[in-house]
Structure formats: C-alpha cells, structure tokens
Chains A and B, each alone.
Chain A
C-alpha cells in the first residue's frame, strides 16, 4: 500500500475499487432500511412512506419492549457465562498441562459438529428435568454451550499469542495463577475478549431455534420469535414490511455495538500490526 500512497493514479484506482467493495457490503442493509419505510400492499405500510411496519411491530402481541427486554436478558446471561467459562477454559488450555486436556478440548470443539436441531430435543428434555423449562436462564445456558467451541478456541489462541515471559514474570513475583490471569493476562487478550463477547451477544440476540423450542409463554419470547411470527401469513406468504422492519430492529443494536467496540479493536490491532 506504500506504493499506492505515492502514486496518485494508483491511489485513485485503489480508492475506487475499495469504495465499490464497501458499497457492495452496505447496499443490502441500506436497501432494507429504506424498504422498511416504503409502501407495499399487504404490509403494515400499504400506502405512502411512513413507519407503519414499525408501529405494527411495536404493538405486536406482548409488545416490542417485552421482546427487547427478554432478548437483552438472554443475551446478557449468554455473554456473561460465555466470557467467564471461555476465559477460564482458554487459560487452562493455553497455560496448563492436565490429564484429559486434549479430550476435553476436542469434546468442546465437537459441539460445533452436531446439527443444532437434533440436539435441541434432548436439551428440552434435560431442562425440563431440572425445572428450567420455559425460562430465559435455560435458553442462556443452552446458547452458552453452543458458543463454547468458538469462544474457548478463540481465548486459547489469544492466551497463546501472549509472550509467556509476561505471566512467567508475574508468577515468579509470587502472584497466584488467578491474579496473574486477572491483572497481567486479561489486559493483554482484550481484543480476544471483546471478540468472544461480541459474537456471544450476536448469537444470543439473533438466535431463533433455541427460544422457539424452549420457551412457551408469549411474555417470555424473544425478538427473533416475534419477528418470525409477524412475518408469516397464511399459506407460507411472507409479510415483507414486517420482515424488513424486523431485520432493522434486530440489526440496529448489533451494528451500534460493532461501531462502539471498534475503537477498542483499533487500539488492540494497531499495537501489534505493522506500521509500514
């Protein structure tokens, strides 16, 4: 890229090409956002431009705020549990040798390899047997489990990429392994933590199938369920107004989070990236 910066023609070509690339990625979202306000027969906004699809969503069944609150609770539980479990687990796998280490690690990765839908029926039975049926906590536990392969792997490689001299020095100074983890290593793996937390949030926020099977009460349902319910009409017809409004409402918190957290990324990335 150094050359591109020097030659104005190349710079122009580079800007144009990457500009088109960026536009390709943004276009579908922008188009959907516009569509959600545009008129379309058979939707909440049938004539003229306006927020008809959004008011329909807001007033749907238990109301938008209930669904948003439930989604937030499930997402928070999932993010908190995923972070705790994967940081401790990643630390264990990266810095300790213990019996069964590889077996446990492979078993964790194997979670990825079973079709989601097949596992949910047994999970439903198990949550019922411990009294966690129809509860947001139960959904959070299940979603945490599905996040573990990615999160534990991610935290493991994050810890492994920290120079071992760092924590070794702390241990020599007499810190316990836990305070070494807490004070020395965590700041060093911040990009990994943010990535794991962010993707746990995204997965929990957008997940449809676990809440569908595990929750029964209308007052406990999460936003993706409400959007799915709004979108389907008789004979498999889809209400595109509700769909695009639902996609927008589901996406906005996630996109905001991305933008807010990006500042942290940039700092993290730049600390180790090349400068020329």
Chain B
C-alpha cells in the first residue's frame, strides 16, 4: 500500500510513477512528483519504480524561477 494525495492507494510490484498516474486517471501534465523526499521529474516517470509503503506527492508545479 502507498499513500497518494493523502489517501491509501494499492501498490503492486514494479509499479512506476507513470503507471500510477495512468491508474489515477489524472490528465494534468505533472512535471514533478515526490516519493517521500525524493524528487522525480517527468522524463523519469516511466523508469522510476515506487517502493511499497511510500508516500507520493503529485506536485502541481507551474513555476521555476
């Protein structure tokens, strides 16, 4: 089980960030998520595996500088 947006969400072995976003059916183009304190950017969504018991934050980032 992982936590996403403060709620529990089922985890599965090998689940990537891209998989999670697909499962969430959220059409917004996230540029960044955080797994606990670790940042993951969109170019790495499909190669970053989410560990079990993680908390995932979808960061609605629009700015930078």
Q: Do A and B come from one complex?
A: no
Write the residues of chain A forming the contact surface with B, with a CB cutoff of 8 angstroms.
none
